């Protein structure tokens, strides 16, 4: 992100526009919506700008640009048709550490003007960082269509209630009150009159205040899927954006954590293979503690919480504490990684069943698994966390009846751009994985369906063209 988005306070601000043509007029019309004092330096003006100068709406200096013109300005805009003049303006502004926007010259800018959607006090700014302004305008059009026209009226009405809401409700309940109110009114398009909006807010606040005793929060186990943020469910996204606290593991893609609302507390509990930074009992205690304080807690887990994710253990402790719980399923690694590797888990010519197991050793070091069932023919076997025990897994499957040349594959970082897939047989895969240098997280897939990857590796082809 080269450009940091920020809104400038234009009250009592001085803004300089160099240029008096159509482009300068367009910039003036946008700035005229603010209380800024606008000065234009240009030998000539468009009729509209001249009229504004005559009415006193702008201060016009009818001459060419001089470097001293930038002194004391909050913002400078170069909008002439002369590249040399525009660059002179940019140089002077940069020398005075003043943000400068040079129209249609991204390299000369230290500030860019975004596409804007306005709904009263709500301002949405969209920018492609100067790379593709047409796209930014198209996004603005979509947002214009999505935002109710009376949203500004609601903001103005609701703004008068902010102090009253804070006075009548406990701090932990304020955000939830506004969220429920907005969600209900949004469905109706905020179509009521200002008087009706006020009545609705009064009623909602009276109802919330009458049950002001601290209500416990909620703990939601959210399945983040195998890694690609695009595979997150709509409900999972909603819970992340509602959360006050997010607890997440090392294996969760940081891009998923970043989807939580900006002011949510993020707690890294660091679980990884053979090294649990925070014990499970402490993780459960953290969730319970924050929920009892009235907060919305999300326990963000890779894959699906109920498939090798200890979700059952976590939700049992939370429920036993008398707290509200919810589970949002996620795409488990077996389904996601296999799909992105081009390996169907079932196929009528290859596998009529699929078995999921975990390759973790027990505390005593034993790899105690249902080997006979795992070595059944015409099924696909998926082993989670099987990289560290790959050699023993392959040996045991051969010992229990599968052929040494039975196909298998190891998928590392499945669904991400860094995904790597190594294929082989039970006899050759361990050496192939070692040669490739896979470090995990990785998933082992065993079955004749692996042969279909040669035809179905769609994600490899897409990645190669990116």
Q: Is 179 annotated in some ligand binding site?
A: no
**First CA to last CA across the chain, in angstroms?**
20
CA distances from 407 to 275, 414, 415, 449 (A): 31, 19, 21, 8
Q: Any idea which residues carry the catalytic annotation?
A: 249, 271
For residues 219 and 323, is the Cβ–Cβ distance under 8 A?
A: yes
Q: Is 40 annotated in some ligand binding site?
A: no
Q: Is 80 annotated in some ligand binding site?
A: no
Greatest extent of the chain over all pairs of C-alpha atoms, in Å = 94
Two structure tokens written together for 59: 């201060």
Q: Is 226 annotated in some ligand binding site?
A: yes
Q: Is 377 annotated in some ligand binding site?
A: no
Question: How far, in Å, CA of 300 to CA of 250, rounded?
Answer: 11
CB half-sphere exposure, 173, CA atoms < 13 A: 19
Q: Is 22 annotated in some ligand binding site?
A: yes
Q: Is 44 annotated in some ligand binding site?
A: yes
Q: Is 156 annotated in some ligand binding site?
A: no
3-state SS record for the chain: CCCCCCCCCCCCCEEEEECCCHHHHHHHHHHCCCCCEEEEECCCCCHHHHHHHHHCCCEEECCCCCHHHHCCCCEEEECCCCHHHHHHHHHHHHHCCCCEEECCCHHHCCCCCCEEEEECCEEEEECCCCCCHHHHHHHHHHHHHHCCCCHHHHHHHHHCCHHHHHHHCCHHHHHHHHHHHHHHHHHCCCCCCHHHHHHHHHHHHHHHHHCCCCCCCEEEEEECECCCHHHCCHHHHHHHHHCCEEEECCCCCHHHHCCCCCCCEEEECCEECCEECCCHHHHHHHHHHHHHCCCEEEEEECECCCCCCCHHHHHHHHHHCCCEEEEECCCCHHHHHHHHHCCCCCECCCECEEEEEECCCCCCCCCCCCHHHHCCCCEEEEEECCCCCHHHHHHHHHHCCCCCCCEEEEEECCCCCCCEEEEEECCCHHHHHHHHCCCCCEEEEECHHHHHHHHHCHHHHHHHHC
Q: Is 307 annotated in some ligand binding site?
A: yes
Q: Is 38 annotated in some ligand binding site?
A: no
Angle at 90 between CA 4 and CA 101, to 5 degrees: 45
Q: Is 43 annotated in some ligand binding site?
A: yes
Annotated binding site for NAD(+): 22-23, 43-44
Binding-site annotation: residue ranges: 22-23, 43-44, 226, 302-304, 307, 332-333, 385, 414
> Residues annotated as binding site for S-adenosyl-L-methionine?
226, 302-304, 307, 332-333, 385, 414
């Amino acid at each position: 992100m080269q450009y940091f988005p920020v809104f400038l306070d234009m009250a009592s601000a001085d803004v300089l526009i160099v240029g008096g043509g159509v482009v300068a007029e367009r910039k003036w019309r946008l700035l005229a919506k603010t209380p800024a004092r606008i000065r234009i330096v240009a030998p000539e003006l468009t009729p509209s700008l001249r009229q504004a100068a005559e009415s006193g709406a702008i201060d016009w200096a009818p001459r060419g640009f001089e470097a001293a013109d930038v002194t004391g300005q909050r913002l400078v805009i170069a909008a002439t048709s002369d590249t040399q003049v525009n660059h002179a303006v940019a140089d002077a502004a940069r020398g005075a550490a003043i943000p400068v926007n040079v129209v249609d010259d991204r390299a000369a800018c230290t500030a860019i003007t975004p596409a804007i959607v306005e709904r009263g006090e709500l301002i949405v700014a969209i920018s492609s960082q100067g790379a593709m302004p047409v796209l930014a305008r198209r996004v603005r059009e979509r947002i214009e269509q999505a935002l109710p026209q009376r949203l500004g009226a609601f903001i103005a009405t609701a703004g008068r209630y902010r102090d009253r809401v804070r006075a009548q409700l406990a701090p932990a309940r304020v955000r939830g009150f506004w969220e429920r109110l907005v969600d209900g009114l949004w469905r109706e398009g905020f179509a009521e009159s200002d008087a009706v909006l006020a009545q609705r807010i009064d009623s909602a606040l009276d109802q919330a205040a009458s049950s002001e005793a601290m209500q416990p929060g909620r703990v939601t186990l959210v399945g983040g899927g195998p890694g690609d943020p695009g595979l997150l469910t709509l409900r999972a996204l909603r819970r992340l954006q509602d959360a006050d606290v997010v607890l997440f593991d090392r294996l969760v893609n940081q891009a998923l954590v970043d989807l939580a609302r900006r002011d949510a507390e993020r707690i890294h509990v660091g679980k990884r293979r053979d090294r649990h930074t925070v014990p499970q009992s402490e993780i459960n205690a953290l969730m319970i503690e924050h929920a009892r304080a009235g907060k919305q807690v999300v326990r963000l887990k890779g894959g699906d919480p109920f498939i090798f994710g200890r979700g059952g253990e976590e939700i049992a402790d939370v429920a036993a504490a008398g707290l509200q719980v919810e589970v949002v399923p996620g795409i488990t690694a077996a389904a996601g990684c296999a799909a992105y590797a081009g390996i169907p888990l079932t196929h009528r010519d290859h596998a009529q069943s699929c078995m999921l197991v975990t390759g973790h050793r027990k505390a005593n070091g034993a790899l105690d698994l249902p080997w006979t069932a795992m070595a059944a023919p015409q099924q696909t076997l998926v082993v989670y966390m099987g990289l560290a025990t790959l050699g023993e897994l392959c040996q045991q499957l051969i010992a229990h009846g599968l052929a040494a040349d039975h196909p298998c594959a190891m998928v590392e970082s499945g669904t991400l751009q860094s995904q790597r897939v190594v294929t082989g047989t039970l006899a050759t895969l361990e050496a192939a994985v070692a040669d490739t240098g896979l470090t995990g997280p990785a998933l082992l897939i065993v079955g004749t369906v692996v042969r279909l990857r040669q035809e179905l590796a769609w994600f490899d082809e897409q990645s190669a063209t990116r």
